[in-house]
Amino acid sequence: MTAQGHCDPRFARVREVFDASFARGEELGAAFAVYLGGEPVVDLWGGVADRHTGRAWERDTPVLTYSCTKAVTATALLMLAERGLVDVAAPVAEVWPEFAAHGKRDVTVEHVLSHQSGLPALDEEVPIEEFEDHPAIAARLAAQAPIWTPGTAHGYHALTYGFLAGEVVRRVTGRSTGEFVTDEISGPRGLDLWLGAPDAVAARAARMSAGERLGSKGGTTTPPPQGEGTPLERLARAALDKTSLMNRALGNPNPNKLKGGGNHPVILRTGWPAMGLVTTARGLAAFYRDLIAGEILKHDTLRDAVRRRVNGPDRVMIIDSSFGLGYMRPSTNFLTPRRGADTAFGHTGLGGSLGLGDPRHGLAMAYTMNRMTTAGPGVLRAYRLASAAYDCLD
């Protein structure tokens, strides 16, 4: 397959890497976009948006990007902080009084944004009837006790992050995070980016397809005993253990209760603020373009937001992770080319999607795809593309 779209001659290597992923059979459909100094230098796409029908991936094909959402949700909350409507250093309970229950009176907004609140998983299974009732899910979290003392450790709040941060947004503005994003970020900027996709957008979205999963090939089916082995071995064990904190965090509420999982209209429509973003690669890259240009947040706000709040072993994902205020920083869990190790920030999404900004190099990029994978060479697709983009700066 030969990629369609635009690629500045300086970035020819990016096109080669993009095409090579298809040649190796790692892709069904995908897109990659890069801005340099605010100018579009890469806008590539190819493959199929739906493997069942053969529908082609087009220039404007949107797709669910899972946790790439978190950076957009964090940005919405930080916009409120800039306006003096939220104090990130203040307790969440100041705007959400019910949240103070069970020892959470001192949990701050900063704890929520940096995955330190101790609420990475819901205690009770969320029924399908509540999937579109974000306040109801948030109320469940308000009624829980934290798993660890907030502020003493960090662990990836895969789904709960969105209901926590989203409820703060709702309490302050009276709007859902998706409504705020449309009104204040994507709408005014004309970005193809939705947190809660309209029916017409959902209808043309690429359909996700499962790929190779962690522990499915090339590894032991009998993980090492609890507490033993390398971090990657312990990660593999946690992936195979349905009761692990990692699987509890990743699987409740569980989109797979609905036919088609993340492809189901309810999931695309409801816009969970931790994983519901539907966007194009170009739309997500343009979000980071405007972010690093100081057009969404002030430069000082962004500099503080990307400052590492936590770094090291993750209580949920086991391998090292690092976060500022909602944005991932380079770590084992956010692989970044060497040249971006000090200044890159952004967020990955389950299965391989990526959004990244780098103020020092003036780079903004995004990779979207519909063949999900959490193992094997395919997990490096976004990293290879990002590395090629950085290499083209020489």
Please identify which residue in the block is written with the tokens 């009624």.
143
Nearest to 40 by CA among 11, 18, 74: 11
Helix axes 381-391, 12-23, angle to 10 degrees: 160
Query: What φ, ψ does residue 331 adopt, rounded to 5°?
Result: -170, 180
Contact 87, 109 (CB under 8 A): yes
Known catalytic residue at 67: yes
* Distinct helix (H) and strand (E) counts, the chain: 14, 12
Please identify which residue in the block is written with the tokens 């020489």.
394
Query: What φ, ψ does residue 390 adopt, rounded to 5°?
Result: -65, -40
Angle at the Cα of 108 (from 105 to 110), degrees rounded to 5? 165
Angle at the Cα of 22 (from 50 to 385), degrees rounded to 5? 110
Looking at the DSSP assignment, which residues form a beta bridge with residue 6?
Answer: 43
Burial 273-299 (b: 16+ CB within 10 A, else e): bbbbbbbbbbbbbbbbbbbbbeebbee
Euclidean distance between CA atoms 186 and 193, whole angstroms: 6
Looking at the DSSP assignment, which residues form a beta bridge with residue 195?
Answer: 277
The full DSSP string for 2-36 is: --EEEE-GGGHHHHHHHHHHHHTT--SEEEEEEEE
| Residue 209 CA neighbour count, 13 Å, CB half | 16
Given 21, 67, 209, 353, which residue is catalytic?
67
Element of type H or E holding 369: strand 363-369
The pair of structure tokens assigned to 233 is: 């071995």
Helix axes 69-82, 160-173, angle to 10 degrees: 30
Euclidean distance between CA atoms 362 and 39, whole angstroms: 10
Residues known to be catalytic: 67
